[in-house]
Amino acid sequence: MRSDGPTEDQRRRGWIAAVVEPEISPAAAMRWAVREARRRDLDVRVLLPDDHRRHLGCHRAFAVALSVARQTEPDVVVSAVVVDQPIERAGLAASAEAELLVLPAASPHVDGALMSAHCPVVVVPDEAPTPRPGRPRHSQDPFPVMVAVGPATGSEVIEFAFAEAGARSAGLLAVRTWHDPLIDLSAPLGRQAGRWDVAHEAVATELDQQLSLCRLAYPDVVAEELVVDDHCADLLVAVAMHARLLVLGRPSRGALLDSVATSPARVLARRPPCPVVVVPPAQPAKAGWLPARRVGVADLRS
């Protein structure tokens, strides 16, 4: 394992970019990054700010990150990339070539990264989930890969989740939340329950159609569906507590609507219950005030 800059041979290999900042513990994010690098046969490049005001803190943070990497996966090549620009801009530049961009959940740059990065962004909580006691040890991962699916979720998000589940020999749980404010199950009219059943079945059918192509492409992945009438962010936080990975698409509701009701992807990335991956859309990254898709009343709920 090396701590200097990448050599010419290393530049030809694929790599994961990991952001290290002075005041934030890099341990959990670095541990996740090197384990993922070993699984994918990649290197890890640590983005280190060249900040003279925090020079000692930067080097101390990298020393901790390197120590964690050596103890976790000693065969993974780790190199430092000292950047002379703001770390958020350096992360964006690195994401154009890296396979993944990994940040600790406490980083103040999470929002900017998930909205602008060219590669999937992984936000790692301080404590990653561990298998519950009493489970037998076997080759299959006991924790599922979760993917949050909405009506506008791109195929690249679903495919990424299936690929991760297949590579990890894990199951996949596709979660879809919905809500129709015009259906009130507390009302005494029996027709309300009938309308709820019809709406719920329509959403379940739509989710099944969204997963159909990936089910054919990844026949070994056991995919289950969970359709719930509930707040998206609240449900995902509760269910993802026992997930290996939570895969989300990049928010597309626009800054104006996001100021009224924060996107679930932002909520989950800021306080991740497990490692959260935000997959960028197939088209070039673009941010604006207006939504990139049609929105409805349900978008007013997080």
Q: Can you give the pLDDT at residue 52?
A: 54
C-alpha span between 301 and 241 (Å, rounded) = 21
Concatenated DSSP letters for 87-121? HHHHHHHHHTT-SEEEEETT-TTHHHHHHH-SS-E
- pLDDT digit string (tens) for 246-263? 999 998 654 444 445 578
Q: 258 or 55: which carries more pLDDT confidence?
A: 55
Burial of 238 (0-12, 13-18, 19+ CB in 10 A): exposed
- pLDDT digit string (tens) for 16-54? 999 988 888 999 999 999 999 999 999 999 998 776 555
- pLDDT band of residue 264 (cuts 50, 70, 90) is confident
Mean pLDDT computed over every residue of the chain? 82
With a CB cutoff of 8 Å and minimum separation 6, the contacts of 79 are 2, 3, 4, 5, 6, 10, 43, 44, 45, 46
User: Which percentage of the chain shows pLDDT scores above 70?
Assistant: 75
| Cα end-to-end span (Å), the chain | 43
- pLDDT band of residue 141 (cuts 50, 70, 90) is confident
Q: Can you give the pLDDT at residue 284?
A: 59
- pLDDT band of residue 129 (cuts 50, 70, 90) is low
Which range has the worst mean pLDDT, 58-72, 115-129, 136-150, 287-301? 287-301
Residue listed under structure tokens 């924790």: 143
C-alpha span between 80 and 44 (Å, rounded) = 9
Q: Can you give the pLDDT at residue 40?
A: 95
Which range has the worst mean pLDDT, 95-109, 127-141, 248-262, 274-288? 127-141
Burial of 156 (0-12, 13-18, 19+ CB in 10 A): middle
**Whether residue 60 has pLDDT greater than 60:** yes
Q: Can you give the pLDDT at residue 3?
A: 44
**Whether residue 176 has pLDDT greater than 60:** yes
Mind listing the domains of the chain with CATH numbers?
Answer: 8-124 (3.40.50.620), 141-300 (3.40.50.12370)
**Whether residue 299 has pLDDT greater than 70:** no
Q: 76 or 284: which carries more pLDDT confidence?
A: 76
Within the chain, where are the H helices? 8-12, 27-40, 55-72, 87-95, 110-116, 155-167, 190-217, 232-239, 254-260, 264-270
